Structure 1
Amino acid sequence: MASRREELAAPIVVITFASPPLLARFAAELDLGLPILADRDRALYAALGFGSGSVARVWLDPRVWARYARLLARGHRMRRMQEDTLQLGGDAVVDADGRLAWIYRSRGPDDRPAIEALRRAVAS
């Protein structure tokens, strides 16, 4: 993870809508070494246009189950869902002046931008 982070050469902040207890557990388990902020009312999610996925896209899509299978094979455990599983996220690049310079809105829980796209966005 650190090497991919260094590839971007920009500060990274994780923003989630998780409750503080879940957020603390998430931060401790993943040990990302990144600032993690809570957007409980999802104001930033709404401002960035991060919508909700359909039940079919989030829970019935074979790509999602394939991702879960890979995680389980690497030793991750499935847990009871405690938050809105339909809420989609994304990635955004904010420039030095605080303006939104680039955005990627995920179409499903397994949809993330390529590291190369993030690198180009940070460099521009």
Structure 2
Amino acid sequence: KNIQVVVISFGCQEGASHWVKQTGCQYDMLLDPSRKIYSAFGLGASLKKVLNFGNILIYSEYVANDMEFPRELPWIQDDMFQLGGNFVLDEHGRVLFSHRCQSPIDRPSVEDILSAQ
């Protein structure tokens, strides 16, 4: 398909550059420090949805299995409670697919995203 993937972050340039390097992300990234795009797509922050027992259990399993996570820069304060989402827009800006994450690990399948028309 003829698509363009864009990652949008609410963080600062230094933190975003560090994350890109840590993860090997090869997509374009836009910064939205005022979270206007997040707000327009209905993406909020939630302590309850991030720090619930199920997420902590999954994170603990990742740690127990020696999975590596991107390391944060200690002098940058990020909002760990901000939830993300996945959206597909057409060339006119119409939303063809939307998924507002209910937790940090809640993501749609690649197949679901690519099937958006």
Shorter chain as normaliser: what TM range? 0.7 to 0.9
Of the three residues 47, 60, 73, the one matched with 2:52 is 60
- Does structure 1 residue 45 correspond to structure 2 residue 38? yes
Unmatched runs of 5 consecutive residues or more in structure 2: none
SS of structure 2 residue aligned to 1:118: helix
Distance in structure 1 (CA, Å) of the matches to 2:90 and 2:45: 26
State percent identity of aligned pairs. 25
Of the three residues 103, 108, 120, the one matched with 2:115 is 120
Runs of 4+ residues over 3 Å off in structure 1:
75-81
Q: What is the root-mean-square deviation of aligned Cα atoms in Å? A: 2.2
Paired residues of 1:67 and 1:110 also in contact (CA < 8 A): no
Instruction: Read off the aligned partner of 1:36 and give its amino acid letter.
Output: M
In the other structure, the counterpart of 2:62 is: 70
Q: Describe the superposition over 1:36-63 as per-residue Cα deviations: whole angstroms up to 9, x where unpaired.
A: 110000000000001112x232123223
Paired residues of 2:101 and 2:107 also in contact (CA < 8 A): yes
Q: Describe the superposition over 1:62-94 as per-residue Cα deviations: whole angstroms up to 9, x where unpaired.
A: 234414532662233665682111111100001
Which moves more between the two structures, 72-81 or 23-32? 72-81
Distance in structure 2 (CA, Å) of the matches to 1:41 and 1:108: 21
Of the three residues 3, 18, 21, the one matched with 1:10 is 3
| Bigger helix fraction | 1
In the other structure, the counterpart of 2:24 is: 31
Cα 1:76/1:102, change in 2 over 3 Å: closer
Unmatched runs of 5 consecutive residues or more in structure 1: 1-7
Distance in structure 1 (CA, Å) of the matches to 2:20 and 2:29: 7
Instruction: Read off the aligned partner of 2:115 and give its amino acid letter.
Output: R
Instruction: Read off the aligned partner of 2:108 and give its amino acid letter.
Output: P
TM-score, normalising length from structure 1? 0.78
Distance in structure 1 (CA, Å) of the matches to 2:53 and 2:20: 28
Q: 1:98, CA displacement in angstroms?
A: 2.1
Cα 1:12/1:68, change in 2 over 3 Å: farther
Distance in structure 1 (CA, Å) of the matches to 2:77 and 2:98: 27
